[in-house]
Amino acid sequence: MSTRILLADDHQIVRDGLRALIAKEPDMEVVGEAENGRDAVRLAKDLQPDIVVMDVTMPDLNGMEATRQVHRRAPDCRVLALSVHADRRFMTEMLKAGASGYLLKDCAFEDLVIGIRTVLEGRTYLCPRIADAVNGRGPASEARPTGSVLTPREREVLQLLSEGHGTKQMARRLHVSTRTVDTHRQHIMDKLDIHSVAELTKYAVRHGLTGLEP
């Protein structure tokens, strides 16, 4: 029986490459693709795959928040994070969100296959460079504070705000009232002591809460 895999990455070329490589594995198949975190959550619920290969930084809903929601809606599904970030804090946040492994995008494809098989066995997988950094045997980017002071819904609002969505757009996406969105935005500003959209956007980019490029 094949391992059913959902690919979640906002770059089509990455998904195409992963799909082509996974197709060479006789016991694995890609059953769906998502270009943002919100689609990843929806497809995980609908398709119930064995594994979601989840990009950490995606538009609309980032990989950390998507991973939390996947575990609520598809509890038997395991998440393997895929990221450009070698920062240990990103790895820690993804594991706290419920990911079973963390893989850098510059790792070899063989590492992805090993990671998939490892998390399917119920174990945690860290690609070699991240494992070396965690164990103090190699370099890693400086850890930065994250948006963990915010609630999950506040992080969603912050991401949408930083990506240019207006209050009405956010309310429709989150299925809440515009007043609720305004309340979340005020709480975000108060908690972070940041009171301009430009600075909130910079914060979201620095801490991996948005798919925008720094």
CB 43 within 8 A of CB 6: yes
CB 21 within 8 A of CB 66: no
List the one residue out of 211, 213, 174 whose CA is nearest residue 63: 211
Residue 124 has pLDDT above 70, yes or no: yes
The per-residue DSSP string of 111-177 comes to: HHHHHHHHHHTT--EE-HHHHHHHTTSS--PPP---GGGS-HHHHHHHHHHHTT--HHHHHHHHTS-
Confidence of residue 127 (pLDDT cuts 50, 70, 90): confident
Percent of the chain's residues with pLDDT above 70: 90
What domains are there in the chain, each with its CATH number? 3-134 (3.40.50.2300), 147-206 (1.10.10.10)
Segment 134-140 mean pLDDT: 51
**pLDDT number for residue 153:** 87
43: tokens are 């497809």
For 36-58, how does the pLDDT look when each residue is reduced to its tens digit (9 = 90+)? 999 999 999 999 999 999 999 88
**pLDDT number for residue 84:** 87
Distance from the Cα of residue 211 to its chain's centroid: 10
Contacts of 24 (CB under 8 A, 6+ apart): none
For 160-189, how does the pLDDT look when each residue is reduced to its tens digit (9 = 90+)? 888 888 899 889 988 899 999 999 889 989
- 121-125, 172-176, 205-209: which is most confident: 121-125
Residue 93 has pLDDT above 90, yes or no: no
The better pLDDT of the pair 151, 210 is held by: 151
User: What is the C-alpha separation between 55 and 68, in angstroms, rounded?
Assistant: 13
**pLDDT number for residue 128:** 82
Confidence of residue 214 (pLDDT cuts 50, 70, 90): very low
Poorest-confidence range of 117-121, 139-143, 161-165? 139-143
**pLDDT number for residue 143:** 41
Residue 139 has pLDDT above 50, yes or no: no
CB 40 within 8 A of CB 70: yes
CB 62 within 8 A of CB 85: no
Q: What is the average pLDDT score of the chain? A: 87
The better pLDDT of the pair 151, 144 is held by: 151
